[in-house]
Amino acid sequence: MFVAAAAMTFAGCSKEDITENGVPAAGTKVTHSFVAEFATSRTALNDAMTRMVWSEGDQLGIYTDVETDLNVASSVYAEGDGKFTADIDAAATKVYAYYPYYEGQGSRKHTEVSLYIQDAQNQTVAGELNGNMVGMYASASIVPGQNTVLTFDPIASIIAFNIYDADNSGEAVKSVTFSPAGGEKLNGQHIYDLEAGTTQSTGTKTSVTVTLDTPYVVPAEKPADKSGYIYLAVSPKNYSGGTFTVVTDKNTYTFETTKALDLTNVYAPLTIPMNLAAGTTAEDYSGTYVVLAKENSTYFALASTNNNNSTRLDAVSFEYNGSDPSVTVTEPELLWTVTKNGNVYTFSNNGKYLSYSGSSNTAKIDDTPYNLFILKDATNGTYNIKSEVDPERILAKYNEQNKYFAFYTTGGNNDLYLVPADYKNLPIIDLSTTSVILDYNDESEHEITATVTDATSVVASAYATEDGSVECDWLSASYENGIISYSASVNNTDMARTAYIIVTATNANGTRTEIITVVQNIQAQGTEVTFNYGVLYSSVTTKQTVTEDTVDGVTAKYVKISGSNSPQYYNNGKNLRIYNESTMTISAPAGSSIIKIEFTASTWTADKGTVTVDVGTLTSKTWTGESESVVFTFTASNRIESFVVTYR
């Protein structure tokens, strides 16, 4: 639907008889004709027109009082045709219609139809309202054998801007934005009851923009007709004044009013004349800035990097007190040069430009300049940064958990701060690696390449803490001629340990540090093998002399030296009884060394000195050391249920 400089005082359409051969039974679909008109009390928008007209391609959404007629699409309007048609149930007696047709309504009932007043509207040329921007609804009774007349009511009120320029500077208007002073909701989704003609909401957004496909070259004198009108659809309500922002091909102008705006009557457009010569020219935001988003008490800066998300730009924590008029930036990726180009701007960093990729919620850095609008909220000192090509896309940091910026249509924190900034050139440290892992016994000296620029001094030291408050007692580090040297002592502890090499470079502007994390592993724990005598001799019902057992390559040999009894397995107790003047030799697989043996024994006399070893250390029931084999000599009786051998 369009209004070719439209009218809202309409002539009525008479019903026309249609020929039907018979009335089909309920459940049968019939093609019914509808004459779609517009409510007759609306004020004319254009003196040249006597009624609003349908445009080729327009389509209605149809419901009836038969439940199966659910969001039926009407025929597509063709030029010169006076009617729409739709296939509806023959038993229908009531019809409910809305415009424009939206297939996505799906299974919604006629009492909950989504109608939208967009926050980003478009107009092809000045003087022609884009009817798609104005949702409408209607209902009527169906009379068999006659066309059904649908009289539509709009859901939106219209502001008509009549813009001229007394200075006759030849500027062309590209867009107009309205932001209510009281933060009133003026557009968004409305859920309509087509039967009752009521809505559950009056909008969700607090600003609305109309963009002209063909910019309107404004005349020097206010036009007497409506051929240059620029239309904006808003929720019907009272607004407590507000700000109108007019963007031309040369400038951005603001007009502020404290006068209440009565837009409650959807049939009475509000005409607002605007003389660009009387408008306030927008500030020139050219300069160098850090772009910040505030979440709670934390600020995040827009970076030109994408380490946190491959299709979005990083949000980096930034220290700012919220009041300083300018800041110093030491990270070059946070510094943005803003350049004015007519009424739009580019944001550049190191020769590359902040851009919207044109797909989903993304942001990128590109070689090609990309135009952006900057809209200031004078009340709280924040700015919206919008794409010129796609004004619905506003730069925002999505939430505190997601550390990135992108261009969004909804959601996110898009009230940003532009804080003037200067760059302090600190030294740059480029390390060949920032993390290393050492073996437990690695005492050799290692090197890391460090490329340091713009530094007058460079120091590298090892610390036990990442903040450099405690020196490290097992790692040492130094720097000389682009090389960081470091070495560690043997790790004899039972835990891996971590130290930090802090590289500090200094120049006249300050200091920059980089950290290398060093982890040293513990000695390998080896392979564990368990000898459980109850399992090894599960088939023995009384007792059995034992001489040798082998489990997973580990061997235990039992020998009577000069005592009275040989080593025996007893089922009663499920243990090995090894007597006075006997030995047990435990050997690792070939090429391996035993590092630990732990015994479980109901009788164990090592603490009395009657169990001794030929190598390593025996403490209570645990032997430690490193040997291919260990000989235990017994000078008293012991009863052993099991033991665990660890070797490597």
CA distance 489 to 443: 5
pLDDT of amino acid 27: 60
Q: Are both 514 and 537 inside the same structural domain?
A: no
Euclidean distance between the first and the last CA atom of the chain, given in angstroms as a whole number: 84
Residue 340 burial by Cβ neighbours in a 10 Å radius (0-12, 13-18, 19+)? middle
Looking at the domain assignment, is residue 128 inside a domain? Answer: no
Q: Two tokens at 611?
A: 């169990």
Q: Is 133 helix (H, G, I), strand (E, B) or coil?
A: helix
HSE, CB side, 13 Å, CA atoms: give it for residue 231.
30
Contact 70, 61 (CB under 8 A): no
Looking at the domain assignment, is residue 121 inside a domain? Answer: no
Tell me the CATH number at 255. 2.60.40.2630
Range of the domain at 217: 157-276
pLDDT of amino acid 147: 83
Contact 458, 428 (CB under 8 A): no
Looking at the domain assignment, is residue 263 inside a domain? Answer: yes
The label of the residue with tokens 């909701």 reads 185
Q: Two tokens at 57?
A: 């391609």
Q: Alpha carbon of 619 to those of 57, 288, 467, 529, 631: distances in Å? A: 94, 72, 41, 20, 15
Indicate left, alpha or beta for 614 from its phi (over 0: left) and psi (-120 to 50: alpha). Answer: alpha
Give the closest residue to 583 by CA, choosing from 605, 614, 539, 604. 614
Handedness of CA 217, 222, 228, 234 (dihedral sign): positive
Helix (H) or strand (E) holding 588: none
The stretches of 35-162 forming alpha helices (DSSP H) are none
Looking at the domain assignment, is residue 13 inside a domain? Answer: yes
Q: Are both 544 and 612 inside the same structural domain?
A: yes
Looking at the domain assignment, is residue 197 inside a domain? Answer: yes
pLDDT of amino acid 458: 97
Q: Are both 542 and 603 inside the same structural domain?
A: yes
pLDDT of amino acid 269: 86
Bridge partners, 560 (sequence order) = 582
Contact 190, 203 (CB under 8 A): yes
How many domains are contained in the chain?
5
Q: Are both 267 and 314 inside the same structural domain?
A: no
Q: Are both 102 and 163 inside the same structural domain?
A: no
Looking at the domain assignment, is residue 127 inside a domain? Answer: no
CA distance 225 to 240: 28
How long is the chain?
Answer: 648
Query: Of the residues 211, 243, 276, which one is the last residue of a structural domain?
Result: 276
Tell me the CATH number at 484. 2.60.40.10
Q: Are both 515 and 542 inside the same structural domain?
A: no
Q: What angle do CA 578, 580, 585 make, to 5 degrees?
A: 55
Q: Is 56 helix (H, G, I), strand (E, B) or coil?
A: coil
Taking the chain (648 residues) in consecutive chunks of 10 residues, what is each chunk's mean pLDDT? 26 25 50 65 33 75 92 86 85 92 87 88 90 87 85 89 92 92 84 87 81 94 92 92 89 88 89 91 89 94 94 95 93 95 90 92 96 86 91 88 90 93 92 93 95 95 96 97 96 90 94 95 85 96 96 97 93 96 96 94 95 94 94 97 95
Query: Of the residues 276, 308, 335, which one is the last residue of a structural domain?
Result: 276
Contact 582, 545 (CB under 8 A): no
- Model pTM score: 0.49
Bridge partners, 97 (sequence order) = 62, 138
Q: Are both 407 and 337 inside the same structural domain?
A: yes
Q: Are both 150 and 162 inside the same structural domain?
A: no
Q: Two tokens at 305?
A: 């990097």
Q: Is 259 helix (H, G, I), strand (E, B) or coil?
A: coil
Amino acid at 450: A
Contact 442, 488 (CB under 8 A): yes
Q: Are both 404 and 503 inside the same structural domain?
A: no
Query: Of the residues 465, 492, 520, which one is the last residue of a structural domain?
Result: 520
Give the closest residue to 411 by CA, choosing from 360, 450, 370. 360
Tell me the CATH number at 97. 2.60.40
SS3 string, 227-270, reads CCCEEEEECCCEECCEEEEEEECCCEEEEEECCCEECCCCCCCE
Residues 6+ apart with CB under 8 A from 535: none
Tell me the CATH number at 344. 2.80.10.50
What secondary structure does DSSP assign to 457-472, as a single string?
EEEEEEESSTTS-SB-
Q: Are both 150 and 166 inside the same structural domain?
A: no
Q: Check residue 27 and report its DSSP letter.
A: T
Amino acid at 259: K
Q: Are both 571 and 501 inside the same structural domain?
A: no
pLDDT of amino acid 282: 73
Residues 6+ apart with CB under 8 A from 112: 191, 192, 193
Q: Are both 535 and 624 inside the same structural domain?
A: yes
Looking at the domain assignment, is residue 129 inside a domain? Answer: no
